[in-house]
Amino acid sequence: MNIPNAISLGRLLAVPITIWLIITGQLQNAFWVFVAAGVSDAVDGFVAKRFDRTTELGRYLDPLADKTLLVSIYITLGSQGHLPIWLVLLVVTRDLLIVGGALLSAVLAERLSLHPSRISKANTAAQIALAALVLGEVGLNLSLGRISEIATYVVAATTTISGANYLGAWLRRSNNVEKETSS
């Protein structure tokens, strides 16, 4: 296991710790663990690309760690009343759509591209920023005014656009596969 993969694995292991910290009301500590996990995402990507340490395992482990962290944090923050439930449902539905499409593609023996689009990357960044803002507000007693509210709607918009983008790409790909097999 190389360094970027170890960092991704560490991020995955931070998920239950962060959830436990939120549930037990240790929101300041949850904020710092979440920030460290977010920074680790940037670090593992930088190290993997800069030092040519990308691996097949890393292509799966990094997005798995990202999805697990974000979905878990959103569900936990929503269940604790720190995020609107409608936003949590939107984020989780989008990720279920992506995972479901990946599983269906595997069942249909289609080659799946694991290259996220720009909107998907923007969505991930917006989701991380909102979770950090919310944890900062409640854990560090920050008064951010309307910033978190605006960030909530940015996440809703990027989540919706990204989900539609994935769904459209998958439907186009499925339609092309159907045309090729019927010809």
pLDDT digits (tens, 9 = 90+) for 140-162: 999 998 999 999 999 999 999 99
Exposure of 163 in the CB half-sphere (CA atoms within 13 A): 17
The rounded distance, in Å, linking the Cα atoms of 37 and 14 is 7
Question: Has residue 113 got a pLDDT over 90?
Answer: no
Where residue 114 falls among pLDDT bands split at 50, 70, 90?
low
pTM: 0.88
Alpha-carbon distance 143 to 134, whole Å?
A: 10
How far apart are the C-alpha atoms of 43 and 140, rounded to whole Å? 25
